[in-house]
A and B are shown apart, each in its own frame.
Chain A
Amino acid sequence: MNLLLKLIVFIVPTIFLLLFFMILTNEDTYPGADYDQFQIPEFELKVLDNTMTVNNDLLNGDYVLNVWASWCITCIIEHPYLTSLSKNGIPVIGLNYKDEQEDAIIWLKKYGNPYQTILHDYKGNLALDLGVTGAPETFLISDGRVVAHYQGEVNDQIWNDVFLPIIKDRKMF
């Protein structure tokens, strides 16, 4: 009787712990791979040099959306990394956030332009819909859905930890 009780109190937790260990270390069944995705809200914004208007339909496919502004100090620090991403063939779209048009253009002349297109969100409407709290912030967008969002400076480590697993998982770019 005692032996049976001893066996039970030992075996039952062992089974559960082993089971959870296997689930946690198995990447396929670990549901952490489901990201909090949402559709990009509808918008219509002019590009920074006022040459055209862009809406949801014109921006499709996979791209990185980077929120920046000329008043943002961290954006300067982040800038070289975005340039290297762009050189490696990753489409980076800029969302110029609550910024004066001239200031932004001067800034780009000074530091260089890594962006394919830049949307000028002077009032911050699209940024508000996206849940932007400041600059810089970076979104990973796949077929019109936000699949990752990072607040703060993107660098090599953040790119590898936050974005790259999702890019691989979804076979993007």
Chain B
Amino acid sequence: MIIEISHFLSVLATGLFLLVGYFSILTPSSNSSYISNLIVRTYSHGFFFLLSSFLIYVWLAITDNFSVQYIANHSNTALPIFYKISSIWSAHEGSMFLWIVFLSLWGFLFNIRVKNNEVLKPKTMGVISFILVGFLIFLLATSNPFETILPIPPLNGADINPVLQDPALAIHPPTLYLGYVGFVIPFASAIAFLLYGDSKINWEALVKTWSVSAWVFLTVGITLGSWWAYYELGWGGYWFWDPVENVALMPWLAATAFIHSLGVSIKSSQLRIWTILLSILVFSLSLFGAFIVRSGIIDSVHAFANDPDRGLYLLGFIGLIVFTSVFLFILRLSSIQSLSRIKKFSKQSFISINNILFGALIFSVMLGVTYPLIYEFLFDQKISVGAPFYNAIFIPIVALAAIFLFFSVDSKWSRSINFKFISPPISFSILLSLAFTIFVMQYFESHSISILASIFAGSLIIFRYIYEIVNFIFTKKFINPFSVIAHMSLGLLLISISFNSLLSTERALSINLNTTESYKDLKISFKDIGVENNANYDSIKATFLVEDQTGRTFNLKPEKRRYFTRGQITTETAIHITFLRDIYITIGDQLDDGSWIVNIQINYLIRWIWLSALLMGLAGVILVFSNSVKT
């Protein structure tokens, strides 16, 4: 009964969202106060029905209601409550449900935070509602999480995939989803703006805080995913150009360009075409991500169950959204073009360059993701596009973007200035960065142009902003804390990534019990190995005593686990974290002579990579809070 109530509430919410969409977009008088009140209230009711439906579903999962097929297939009585809840988003149906609930949550927050007399509000709510209806029908018709096993439910449940039994993974998908679907707000407002066709309306200012908030979730979500893959999947790195990582990176790149472009449009009504196109692009790429993951079109750790019907529905719906947007855009293009030209070397000019460079990056990633699919389709041969392709494109373009960023610090809004290349801040940063790069080249004997270029570009940004901060302390020259933190984090990210690829090493050793091997500055003694029994898995646990060059010692205990319910074997890495490097050990198989294969990695500055990404997110948080204090 309770399952049916939950199911019914979702259906009811779909109906209400359909009403909101109808009244706000398809009726001519949607801006009368009566209708707009109706829209606001009906949406809120729809949201509460959908939320209740989801909360009941969470309750069903907590209480092990295995009459629900999805819960029976993905949860287990032996799981702690935390993982019973996160099992909901461990596979397609439940995670789609969560995705939709988050989408409606953003709409709800927009609904209560934005005043009713805001001219774009009714139509924005309408666009959000139509999108919700499309996805709810997708959920209920092709991937219904409420399907039941009758008459006799199984007793125990099939268990969540063991690699997903991890705190980082329990929060990684929700954070990422909040980011993806958050861009529905700028998208829906842009569409509302185009529907109105009145170029005096400043839709960009309305969505600034919302866009930056969504960007923060996307940034943190991607970082959490990167961290999880490193220690739980045992991938041993931070980025693998896995197709699903790429489909998260594309909306992030588009969103970053969008936020920059948005700033210009708010300030001077320029770059409006860019801003509108980017808002459409960000949301379309978020939907494209959902399509790639859920249609089974690619094989990846992230891919969900395969079902061509789902793929076709999603593709059709995305096509509908994209073509409606494109049609509206073409229709209104002439009325939204700004008349004022962008001045040379003004801030606007640098941001347009940034838009172009980011556009090139997005296009390259899109090519990297789709090219193997096209190739296989046309020539029936599998090829893979990997790190060399992406490195060859990303390193020069990002370095170029960093150099433009460096010069843009001096630029002014709407004014062209004469660049003095020997001005103190510029020469100071260039000289220090050159010195640092030459030091790295000599000390680490590195001659890789891509690494040196990245280090140079990264340090240019950092030194330039250090100069700004010092200037601020002594002369109180205004700086934008958001921009300083975000861009310095980018510099830190570039430098961390460069050092990581310059210094990190790994090696597989075969080692006998009670012997010592040395690798680089480390002495590794194999102390112990044994079997441990746990509630839902058995594990082989090894103990290594590691001594580094300073004489410090520590224990590392990697494991191999075998989970009972699925018989799946997972590798648990053991990591020793220090300020500058991680020592990372995984254990492999036992050889015939009794020795064990052990993989050792020394990963330099890998924590700094995630730290810089999180700092970027923090910059966004600062912007959001400083904005909401002002309003």
Is residue A59 within 8 Å, beta carbon to beta carbon, of the partner chain? Answer: no
Q: Could you say which residues of chain A place their CB within 8 Å of the CB of B158?
A: 131, 133, 151
Chain B interface extent, by class: 35 or more
Is residue B383 within 8 Å, beta carbon to beta carbon, of the partner chain? Answer: no
Contact of B330 among A9, A31, A133, A151 (CB under 8 A): A9
Query: Contact: A2 with B333, CB < 8 Å?
Result: yes
Question: Which of A16-24, A86-94, A103-111, A112-120 is near enough to bind chain B?
Answer: A16-24
Nearest B residue to A33 via CB reads B306
Q: Could you say which residues of chain B place their CB within 8 Å of the CB of A28?
A: 380
Q: Could you say which residues of chain A place their CB within 8 Å of the CB of B323?
A: 13
Q: Could you say which residues of chain B place their CB within 8 Å of the CB of A134?
A: 152-156
Query: Contact: A6 with B73, CB < 8 Å?
Result: no
Q: What is the minimal beta-carbon distance from B228 to any residue of chain A, in angstroms?
A: 22
Contact of B373 among A13, A23, A128 (CB under 8 A): A23
Interface residues of A in 48-91 (CB under 8 A from B): 72-74
Contact of B154 among A2, A20, A24, A133 (CB under 8 A): A133
Q: Could you say which residues of chain B place their CB within 8 Å of the CB of A133?
A: 72-73, 154-158, 565
Query: Contact: A13 with B298, CB < 8 Å?
Result: no
Is residue B580 within 8 Å, beta carbon to beta carbon, of the partner chain? Answer: no
Query: Contact: B308 with A41, CB < 8 Å?
Result: no
Nearest A residue to B564 via CB reads A128
Q: In the docked arrangement, what's the CA distance between A2 and B273, Å?
A: 11
Q: What is the minimal beta-carbon distance from A111 to any residue of chain B, in angstroms?
A: 17
Interface residues of B in 37-87 (CB under 8 A from A): 69, 72-73
Total count of chain A residues near the partner, CB < 8 A: 35
Q: What is the minimal beta-carbon distance from A71 to any residue of chain B, in angstroms?
A: 10
Q: Could you say which residues of chain A place their CB within 8 Å of the CB of B621?
A: none
| Interface residues as binary, B295-309 with A (CB distance below 8 Å gives 1, 0 otherwise) | 111110000001110
Q: Could you say which residues of chain B place their CB within 8 Å of the CB of A38?
A: 567
Is residue A144 within 8 Å, beta carbon to beta carbon, of the partner chain? Answer: no
Q: Could you say which residues of chain B place their CB within 8 Å of the CB of A173?
A: none
Query: Contact: B311 with A10, CB < 8 Å?
Result: no
Interface residues of B in 333-360 (CB under 8 A from A): 333-334, 337
Q: What is the minimal beta-carbon distance from B325 to any residue of chain A, in angstroms?
A: 9
Interface residues of B in 312-339 (CB under 8 A from A): 312, 315, 318-319, 322-323, 326, 329-330, 333-334, 337
Query: Contact: A29 with B376, CB < 8 Å?
Result: yes
Is residue A157 within 8 Å, beta carbon to beta carbon, of the partner chain? Answer: no
Q: Could you say which residues of chain B place their CB within 8 Å of the CB of A29?
A: 373, 376-377, 380
Q: Could you say which residues of chain B place their CB within 8 Å of the CB of A17?
A: 315, 318-319, 322
Q: Could you say which residues of chain B place their CB within 8 Å of the CB of A19?
A: 370, 373-374, 377
Query: Contact: B151 with A73, CB < 8 Å?
Result: yes
Query: Contact: B155 with A10, CB < 8 Å?
Result: no
Is residue B284 within 8 Å, beta carbon to beta carbon, of the partner chain? Answer: yes
Q: In the docked arrangement, what's the CA distance between A4 and B311, Å?
A: 31
Q: In the docked arrangement, what's the CA distance between A20 and B373, Å?
A: 9
Q: What is the minimal beta-carbon distance from B564 to any residue of chain A, in angstroms?
A: 6
* Interface residue SS majority, chain B: helix
Is residue B201 within 8 Å, beta carbon to beta carbon, of the partner chain? Answer: no
Q: What is the minimal beta-carbon distance from B406 to any residue of chain A, in angstroms?
A: 30
Is residue A156 within 8 Å, beta carbon to beta carbon, of the partner chain? Answer: no
Query: Contact: B73 with A9, CB < 8 Å?
Result: no
Given contacts A20-B315, A23-B377, contact A31 B306 (CB under 8 A): yes
Q: Could you say which residues of chain A place their CB within 8 Å of the CB of B72?
A: 133, 151
Given contacts A2-B334, A6-B330, contact A152 B322 (CB under 8 A): no
Is residue A129 within 8 Å, beta carbon to beta carbon, of the partner chain? Answer: yes
Nearest A residue to B327 via CB reads A10
Nearest A residue to B295 via CB reads A24
Q: What is the minimal beta-carbon distance from B527 to any residue of chain A, in angstroms?
A: 31
Nearest A residue to B277 via CB reads A9
Q: Could you say which residues of chain A place their CB within 8 Å of the CB of B326?
A: 9-10, 13
Q: In the docked arrangement, what's the CA distance between A38 and B569, Å?
A: 12
Given contacts A6-B333, A9-B329, A152-B149, contact A131 B312 (CB under 8 A): no
Interface residues of A in 26-54 (CB under 8 A from B): 26, 28-32, 34, 38, 41
**Quick one: which of A20, A129, A152 has the most chain B CB within 10 A?**
A20
Q: In the docked arrangement, what's the CA distance between A20 and B308, Å?
A: 11
Query: Contact: A131 with B565, CB < 8 Å?
Result: yes
Is residue B412 within 8 Å, beta carbon to beta carbon, of the partner chain? Answer: no
Nearest B residue to A26 via CB reads B377
Q: What is the minimal beta-carbon distance from A90 to any residue of chain B, in angstroms?
A: 25
Query: Contact: B155 with A128, CB < 8 Å?
Result: no
Q: In the docked arrangement, what's the CA distance between A25 and B69, Å?
A: 28
Q: What is the minimal beta-carbon distance from B90 to any residue of chain A, in angstroms?
A: 15
Q: In the docked arrangement, what's the CA distance between A129 and B154, Å?
A: 17
Q: Could you say which residues of chain B place their CB within 8 Å of the CB of A9?
A: 277, 326, 329-330
Is residue B576 within 8 Å, beta carbon to beta carbon, of the partner chain? Answer: no
Query: Contact: A74 with B319, CB < 8 Å?
Result: no
Nearest B residue to A2 via CB reads B333
Query: Contact: B157 with A24, CB < 8 Å?
Result: no
Pairs of residues from A and B, 6 with the lowest C-beta to C-beta distance, nearest first: A134-B154, A32-B306, A32-B296, A133-B154, A133-B158, A24-B311
| 11 extra A-B contacts, CB within 8 A, seeds A10-B330, A24-B312 | A9-B277, A16-B370, A20-B311, A20-B373, A22-B377, A23-B297, A24-B315, A30-B308, A38-B567, A74-B152, A133-B73
11 contacts across the A-B interface (CB closer than 8 A):
A17-B322, A20-B315, A24-B295, A24-B311, A25-B312, A29-B376, A41-B567, A130-B567, A131-B566, A131-B567, A134-B155
Chain A contact residues, CB within 8 Å of chain B: 2, 5-6, 9-10, 13, 16-17, 19-26, 28-32, 34, 38, 41, 72-74, 128-131, 133-134, 151-152
